[in-house]
A and B are shown apart, each in its own frame.
Chain A
Amino acid sequence: MRNVGIDIGSRTIELIVVEGGEVIESKQADSGFDPMTQAGALLEGVGYDHITATGYGRHLFELALDVPTVTEIKAYAVGANALFPDVQTILDIGGQDSKAISLNGSGKVAKFEMNDRCAAGTGKFLEIMAHTLGYSLDQFGVGALEAKNGMQISSMCTVFAESEVTSLVARGEDRRDIALGLHRSVVQRALSMLKRVTVKEPILFAGGVARNPCIRLLLEETLGANILVPENPQMVGALGAAILGGKSG
């Protein structure tokens, strides 16, 4: 049985093919301005028995191809469980949204929280701030780790934070210190979300932001816990959808 899971997110699309419990193929593309075409292109030449869609674009996909769908929440729970069978808590920080999920003993979702409409505390926030400080996204977390004293950034809103950063730069502050402050504010936001669902170990950290070493370190420090990061943190949702094998939520 060959099953495909496709996660159509606001920034990227991931596709995974699973056969006999093994991942045999995984692909990724930017969502761009026309995610359906992008998703169609990813799917080209991929043979499968079942397909399940997840992510914010799942319903468009469902309409176009009449495939079953599952929410990101459930897809992440299933995917995380497959990667680390005893995982209890999931934190996902993606391009434009973030979520915290707690699982019960049998890997089912017990409770979840999602960020509200704004992009504060998500990958988008980090991306804009990296740009403002002249970092590439890859180097942003590395730069922040070099800071001596992190600055306090008081604005959570992307627009306000950007002007706050600009004025700190103008004041001659070290950009590494500003970067650390920004990373701390993202972690603060993630923590308050996590605490609303309860934080039990093992904790899995997923989503594009899980690639950022500074965020990972700050999370571990503040939680006083080890954090599991999958090899490809952006694939957890697609993996979960693939495992569901044509069953909808």
Chain B
Amino acid sequence: MSEDYRGMWENLGLDLVAHDALLEVLGTGYGDIYLAQNDRPEGMGYFDFVMSEVHGLRIKELMDEKAAGRKVIGSFCVFVPEEIVRATDATLVGLCTGADFATDEVETLLPRNTCALIKSAFGFKLGKACPYLESADMIVGENTCDGKKKSYEIFNELVPNLYVMDLPQVKSVEGRALLKAEYLRFKEAVEQLTGVTIDAERLKSGIEIVNNKRKAIHRLTGLRKADPVPISGLDALLANQISFYDDPVRFTESVNKMCDELEQRIEKKEGVFSEKTPRILISGCPMAVPNWKLPWIIETSGAVIVGEESCVGERGARNLTDDSRDTVEELMEAIVDRYFQVDCAIFTPNPDRLEHIVEMARHYKADGVIHYGLQFCQPYLMEAMPVEKALEEKNIPTLRIDTDYSMEDVGQLKTRVEAFIELIK
């Protein structure tokens, strides 16, 4: 990243020293994990570029948007409906929560046994290292797990523009009514923030942009069914991660372009790993940038990841929003319907997720499932046990991993993952 951005970062109030340190670690990690891979699709060049400019050009674009009067909204969860944000020409960015930062400061505000994702969100704020967080005109929190819900009470003291969305915990008629009421309230809040009134035409176009992005991701995931797999799990994960903050239209084009290339690879039976490489499905907590630890361990241990049952993956991107209706009311219903299907572990009971994992394992011809839970994440760690049991009853080998963002358990994880791969071979 060039020096030109320093002024911009300074204006955003970033701590330049801490920020430099972060970029350095990010750059090294990216080189070691991403650029070290073999036979990457050429189309990944775009994503490498976006990644290299993650705090540079992309932030500059957002600043330009802001200068033109459009807003930036930050979110921590796939329940925040991007369609509504897009309908006002605002940009929704997923806030990265995939690295430890300023942990000692974080632990003056949060208990040590809080999941790494929540701690990371606080760390980037306290350490003044995230330009997305600082450029956001509105930050949306959501009442999902207890950790997030309670931590937003504290986060509210740190940022001037937190908006908290309530979410249901049960897939009932009342639950859906709550989601709808909250989406209507959110729509009003976004309208107020942007000064734009959302009419049917705007909402339709918002839905179209977001649906196209999802369709491109679906196309990409579909290609991973092939053997040999034309793209590594690490690269596919990166595309998913970038979908949270890149310009959606450009992102869609780039993914589609890469898919053309991948289709040619499949035709020529070319892959990133040889045919018959053991295939793994990952399921569990979301992996935000730059959390590449477990996928990296898996793909350097002789297996390939063919799918992610995760919010940064299929749980987040599956299902389109129906855009065939003509009124704002009907389109809002369609949005509610689409999001109400997200099978996050904060729902109780949550049988859909279990079914989806089994379905994905079959669909992507996975030889085994690795369940990834973040330490101290109650919802996913609790679901891990029944997930493991159900999968094993269906003769799908399963490995449960709980870990965090630190590197100290890499050796141990590698042994477990390698042993699991030996087992499914």
A interface residue numbers (CB < 8 A to B): 56, 59, 70-74, 97, 108-112, 114, 116-117, 249
Which residues of A lie under 8 Å from residue B419 when comparing CB positions? 71-74, 109, 112, 249
Chain A: minimal CB distance from B413 (Å): 10
A98 to chain B, nearest CB (A): 12
* 5 additional A-B residue pairs with CB within 8 Å, beyond A56-B411, A59-B414, A116-B409: A56-B412, A73-B419, A110-B423, A249-B418, A249-B425
**Docked pose: A43 CA to B425 CA in angstroms:** 31
Answer whether residue B415 sits at the interface, using C-beta atoms and an 8 A cutoff: yes
Which residues of chain B are within 8 angstroms of A116 by Cβ–Cβ distance? 402, 409, 412
The complex places the Cα of A135 from the Cα of B415 at a distance, in Å, of 33
Q: How far is the CA of A59 from the CA of B412 in the complex (A)?
A: 12
Taking CB atoms and an 8 Å cut-off, the chain B residues in 375-425 that contact chain A are 392, 397, 402, 408-409, 411-412, 414-416, 418-419, 421-423, 425
Is the pair A114, B411 in contact by a Cβ cutoff of 8 Å? no
Q: Complex: how many Å from CA A71 to CA B424?
A: 14
| Contact status B409-A117, CB under 8 Å | yes
Closest beta carbon of chain A to B416's beta carbon, Å: 6
Q: Which residues of B contact A110 (CB under 8 A)?
A: 423
**Which residues on the B side are within 8 Å of A108 (C-beta)?**
423
- Can you report 29 A-B residue pairs in the complex whose CB atoms are below 8 A from each other? A56-B411, A56-B412, A59-B414, A71-B415, A71-B418, A71-B422, A72-B419, A73-B415, A74-B422, A97-B412, A108-B423, A109-B419, A109-B422, A110-B423, A111-B423, A112-B416, A112-B419, A112-B423, A114-B412, A114-B415, A116-B402, A116-B409, A116-B412, A117-B408, A117-B409, A117-B412, A249-B419, A249-B421, A249-B422
A72 to B397, CA, bound (A): 19
Closest to B409 in A: A117
Most buried by B among A56, A59, A71, A110: A71
Residue of B nearest to A97 (CB): B412
Residues in A with CB closer than 8 Å to B423 are 73, 108-112
| Total chain B interface residues with beta-carbon distance under 8 A | 16
Within the complex, the shortest CB–CB distance from A241 to chain B, in Å, comes to: 13
Bound-state CA distance A235–B59 (Å) is 58
User: Separation in Å of the A10 CB from the closest CB of chain B?
Assistant: 10
Interchain CA distance A177-B422 in the complex, whole Å = 43
* Complex CA distance for A112 and B415, rounded to whole angstroms: 11
CA–CA, A117 and B408, complex, Å: 9
The answer to whether B415 and A56 have CB atoms under 8 Å apart is: yes
Set of chain A residues within 8 Å of B411, measured between Cβ atoms = 56
Of all chain A residues, the one with the shortest Cβ separation from B414 is A59
Partner among B392, B408, B412, B422 whose Cβ is within 8 Å of the Cβ of A73: B422
Residues of B within 8 A of A109 (CB): 419, 422-423
- Per CB-CB distance, the 6 closest pairs between chain A and chain B, nearest first, are A73-B419, A249-B422, A71-B419, A71-B418, A74-B422, A109-B423
Q: Determine chain B's interface SS by DSSP, over half rule.
A: helix
Nearest chain A CB to B131 CB, angstrom units: 34
Are A72 and B415 neighbours in the complex by a CB distance under 8 Å? yes
Bitwise, B200-239 to A at CB < 8 A (1) or not (0) is 0000000000000000000000000000000000000000
**Could you say which residues of chain B place their CB within 8 Å of the CB of A73?**
415, 419, 422-423
- CB-contact partner of A70 in B408, B412, B422, under 8 A: B422
* Chain B: CB-nearest residue to A117: B409
Smallest CB separation, B373 vs chain A (Å): 12
Which residues of A lie under 8 Å from residue B416 when comparing CB positions? 112, 114
CA distance A73 to B424 in the complex (A): 13
Residues of A within 8 A of B402 (CB): 116
Distance between A211 CB and nearest chain B CB, rounded to angstroms:
23
Distance in angstroms between the alpha carbons of A70 and B302 in the assembled complex? 12
Chain A minimum-CB-distance residue to B406: A117
Q: What CA separation (Å) do A111 and B389 show in the bound complex?
A: 12
Please give the distance in Å from A114's CB to the nearest CB on chain B: 6
A73 to B408, CA, bound (A): 20
| Alpha-carbon distance between A70 and B409 when the two chains are bound, in angstroms | 19
Q: What is the CA–CA distance of A177 and B192 in the complex, to the nearest angstrom?
A: 71
B409, B419, B422, B425: residue with the most chain A Cβ atoms closer than 10 Å: B419
CB contacts (< 8 Å) of A72 on chain B: these are 415, 419
Q: Which residue of B lies closest to A59 (CB)?
A: B414
Residue of A nearest to B397 (CB): A111
Cα–Cα distance between A108 and B414 once the two chains are bound (Å): 20
Measured CA separation A115–B262 after assembly (Å)? 41
Q: Nearest-CB distance from B276 to chain A (Å)?
A: 16
Instruction: Please measure, in the bound complex, the distance between the C-alpha atom of A114 and the C-alpha atom of B421, giving whole angstroms.
Output: 15
A176–chain B nearest beta-carbon distance, Å:
34
A147 CB, nearest partner CB in chain B, Å: 34
CA distance A240 to B20 in the complex (A): 48
**A236: shortest Cβ distance to chain B, in Å?**
15
Minimum Cβ distance to chain B for residue A6 (Å): 16
Closest to A69 in B: B418
Please give me the residue from chain A that is nearest to B411 by CB atom.
A56
- Distance between A105 CB and nearest chain B CB, rounded to angstroms: 15
> Which residue of the partner chain B has the closest CB to A109?
B423
What's the Cα separation between A108 and B397 when bound, in Å? 13
Specify the chain A residue showing the minimal Cβ separation from B422.
A249
A109 to B397, CA, bound (A): 11
Task: Using CB atoms, name the residue of chain A closest to B416.
Answer: A114
Q: Quick one: closest A residue to B418, CB to CB?
A: A71
Chain A hits for B392, CB < 8 A: 111
- Which residue of chain A is the closest to B417 with respect to CB atoms? A71
Residues of chain A lying within 8 A (CB to CB) of residue B412: 56, 97, 114, 116-117
When C-beta atoms are compared, the residue in chain B nearest to A249 turns out to be B422
List residues of chain A with CB within 8 A of the CB of B418.
71, 249
CB distance from A96 to the nearest CB of B (A): 10
Closest Cβ of chain B: how far from A24's Cβ, in Å? 27
Within the assembled complex, what's the spacing in Å between the Cα atoms of A109 and B423? 6
Q: How many Å lie between the Cα of A108 and that of B415 in the bound state?
A: 17
Q: Which chain B residue has the least Cβ–Cβ distance from A110?
A: B423
Min CB gap B5→A, angstroms: 39
CB of A88 to closest CB in B, whole Å: 16
Write the nearest CB–CB distance from B411 to chain A, whole angstroms.
6
Residues of B contacting A59 with CB < 8 Å? Answer: 414
Q: How far is the CA of A249 from the CA of B414 in the complex (A)?
A: 13
